[in-house]
Amino acid sequence: MSLSGRVALVTGGGRGIGRAISIGLAEDGAAVAINYTRDEESARATVDAILALGGKAKAYQASVEVYEEDQAMVEAVIADFGKIDILVNNAGIASRGQSVRDTDPAEMERVVRTHAFGSFYMSQLVLDSMRAQERGDIVMISSVAASSFGPNGSPYNMGKAALEALAFGLAKEERRNGIHVNIVAPGLTETQMGIRLARATRGTQSRENLRELDSKMPFGHVCQPEEIADAVRYLVSDRSTYVTGQRIQVDGGGPMMGPY
């Protein structure tokens, strides 16, 4: 699945699912722009891992929910790499596990702005560059939360639901311009955010305890970031020339112990 000559921008691309996606796209030949908000160390480490593979990568700081920062980042990436023809809207934050009654309104706004506003801003800003290419790809990293809508996580549920609404509308708008827009919706995945979500819903306290859920999960293990990255790699590849406006739920067919 060669992505040689293509340029990918991965928001939140320095760690967790974003890191796996960044490295996977680089392995397939894409140059990768790695966005981070605060964790510069992880972003730099992911850049170094790609460079060690012989790939091209650079880190860019921006808070995705701030339009002006997104605009400056997109301009910088295009100046450095010449274009952006793959965007992965991966940046996200978790809810704190409170009921609607007990959720701070500021938390609701912060979570929704990150997932929904940030993805809208980023998608809008890359469209001109993508329209100038033979093909463009936008992949939204959502969650099973947008289909299960569990309790004690309404800000996260709301943010992911809005992100998916954006994807479905954008897919219809941009199909005539050769731009594919799709959604990947992970189940519980072994990342720092996955640990926080598990703690909020199940009382799990550590990475080690998260792996203790393996025997209760489909195929005998908690989903790994690389398994999410593989779905993204397919969607942006030449093996996916006729796929747009689709949602791939990567959760092993449904967690055996209930949705997260």
pLDDT tens series, the chain, 260 aa: 799 999 999 999 999 999 999 999 999 999 999 999 999 999 999 999 999 999 999 999 999 999 999 999 999 999 999 999 999 999 999 988 899 999 999 999 999 999 999 999 999 999 999 999 999 999 999 999 999 999 999 999 999 999 999 999 999 999 999 999 999 999 989 887 777 666 655 554 544 567 778 888 899 999 999 999 999 999 999 999 999 999 999 999 985 555 44
Taking CB atoms within 8 Å and a gap of at least 24, the contacts of 197-203 are: 197/94, 197/153, 197/156, 197/260, 198/260, 199/97, 200/94, 200/95, 200/96, 200/97, 200/152, 200/153, 201/97, 201/150, 201/152, 201/153, 201/260, 202/260
Compute φ and ψ for 169, nearest 5 degrees: -70, -45
| Under 8 Å between Cβ of 182 and 248 | yes
Is 7-250 assigned to CATH 3.40.250.10?
no
The DSSP call for residue 224 is P
CA distance 79 to 138: 20
Residue type, 134: E
Look up the pTM and report it: 0.93
CA distance 42 to 62: 14
Neighbours of 10 (CB within 10 A): 34
Joined together, the tokens standing for residue 63 give 């808070």
Active-site residue (options: 156, 234, 242, 260): 156
CA distance 163 to 89: 9
Residue type, 90: N
CA distance 5 to 9: 14
Annotated active-site residue 60? The verdict is no
The DSSP call for residue 82 is S
